[in-house]
Amino acid sequence: MSQEIAVIGSPEFTTGFRLAGVRIHEEIHDEEKPDELDGAVTRIVERSDVGIVIMNDDDLGNLSRDEREIVRTSVDPTFVTIGSGQAAGGLRAQIRRAIGIDLMD
């Protein structure tokens, strides 16, 4: 059963999660390098102990097309993107996709 929460992102993005006690699995030092970001997503998807992956919404644009599709459609692990570009409706849709129901209805 997947129990870990993973965070992928820059040191600036991951610091708050680290202070909250979340173990940081992949820290990206140059978000502009698609290979580094793509590799982090691939490594996390291959892990069986990670159930939720948190990423910065702005990093989606730096992913390759294939990795972006994995982030958008993966259920186990479930990717949750947050950040300046995240609208409330987007997070609601991600939660609905992850658990299969809309809690607000």
Read off the pLDDT band of 28 (50, 70, 90). low
Give the pLDDT mean for 23-43: 74
Q: Provide the whole-model pTM.
A: 0.73
Q: 3-class SS at 50?
A: strand
CATH architecture of 4-99: 3-Layer(aba) Sandwich (3.40)
Q: How confident is the model at residue 4 (pLDDT cuts 50, 70, 90)?
A: confident
Amino acid at 61: G
Q: What is the mean pLDDT of the chain?
A: 78
**Confidence at residue 27, expressed as pLDDT on a 0 to 100 scale:** 66
List the end-to-end C-alpha distance of the chain, in Å, as a whole number.
28
Q: What is the pLDDT of residue 17?
A: 83
CA distances from 73 to 14, 20, 45, 93 (A): 23, 27, 12, 12
Q: How far is 105 from 1, CA to CA, in rounded Å? A: 28
List phi, psi (to 5°) of 63.
Answer: -80, 155
Give the H/E segment covering residue 98.
helix 88-99
Domain ranges of the chain: 4-99
Quote the pLDDT of residue 93.
67
d(CA 32, CA 14): 16
- List pLDDT tens digits, range 45-88: 998 888 889 888 888 888 899 999 999 889 889 898 887 654 44
